[in-house]
Amino acid sequence: MTQYKNKIAVVSGAASGIGYELAMQLAQKGCNLALIDRNIGGLEKVKEQIESLGVQCFIKDVDVSDNNAFIAFADEVIDKFGQVDFLFNNAGVSLIDSVENQSLEDFHWLMNINFWGVVHGTNAFLPHLKKSDAAHIVNVSSLFGLLSLPLQSAYNSSKFAVRGFTEALKMEMAGTNVSVHCVHPGGIKTNITNSAKISSPHVERSKILDDFNKQAKTTAEQAASIILQGIEKKKRRILVGSDAKLLDRIVRWFPETYEKILGFEKGVIAKRKAD
């Protein structure tokens, strides 16, 4: 059984959403936390909540796209706690737009956070994790790391990249003390989509957000619980939500036609005809 009491966990994107719930549930299990987010005000509130549970919490404003900043943070965590046992690379952002209309600047911005943030976190903490008796690296991909969707090319690219990186890392860590997990959440009730960047005026933001919020059935609290259960079961791939499980099956059964079966192209064709 995975032990959390008196262990040290690092969580990125911990001021809200899944990251916040992971931090709280780990704290409730007696785990000490090192948390990062760009929202330092949010982190300060999380720190108060966590310390009220009788565990330690270290917070820092760190840009996960900055490798040197991540390495410096890792050094601070080791200076404070002397060890690290869990790494949750959770921070992420969203960009909704077509390949034709989205700016490369926005594409680079998203990849630097969603993909390079995972690589930087792993690079910074892996040497320390290898010194733990039993360590875990948990990288958050997405349902969109299993299938693609129109207007999500940048997000899809980042999450497929996280999946590929994580699965390779898992193989490289075989036979070591480091377990590696890739998380694929489906529709989760968080603000990542509601705060998505849209660089083109041609995208109907309100309709996309309405559709997402109607379909998002899993809460962040439930998602965090499923992730921790997946770690307990030593799962390589952790699917979060019934939608993720169903769509994963459909993609595996129909890899060449899933977009037609799921109707992903209908809206694109209808819009093109209307234009």
Digit-coded pLDDT (tens) for 48-79: 999 999 999 999 999 999 999 999 999 999 99
Return the HEC string of the chain: CCCCCCCEEEEECCCCHHHHHHHHHHHHCCCEEEEECCCHHHHHHHHHHHHCCCCCEEEECCCCCCHHHHHHHHHHHHHHHCCCCEEEECCCCCECECCCCCCHHHHHHHHHHHCHHHHHHHHHHHHHHCCCCCEEEEEECCHHHCCCCCCEHHHHHHHHHHHHHHHHHHHHCCCCCEEEEEEEECCEECCCCCCCECCCCCCCHHHHHHHHHHHCCEEHHHHHHHHHHHHHCCCCEEEECHHHHHHHHHHHHCCCCHHHHCCCCHHHHHHHHHC
Longest Cα–Cα distance in the chain: 61
47-50: which pairs have CB atoms within 8 A and are 24 or more residues apart? Answer: 49/24, 50/23, 50/24
What's the confidence (pLDDT) of residue 206?
57
The one catalytic residue among 4, 20, 155, 258? 155
Q: Is 155 a catalytic residue?
A: yes
Phi/psi of residue 185, each to 5°?
A: -75, 145
Q: Give the Cα separation of 240 and 223 in Å (integer).
A: 6
Residues in the chain where the model's pLDDT stays below 70:
1, 189-196, 199-216, 267-275
Q: Give the integer Cα–Cα distance in Å for 120 and 66.
A: 8
Q: What are the residues whose beta carbons fall under 8 Å from the beta carbon of 187, sequence distance 6 or more? A: 143, 212, 215, 216, 217, 218, 241, 243
Cα→Cα distances 89→96, 101, 139, 240, Å: 22, 29, 5, 16
pTM, 2 dp = 0.92
Nearest to 93 by CA among 105, 106, 102, 81: 106
Q: Which pair of tokens denotes residue 73? A: 């943070």
Assess contact for 192 and 93: CB atoms under 8 A: yes
Q: State the architecture of 8-274 in CATH terms.
A: 3-Layer(aba) Sandwich (3.40)
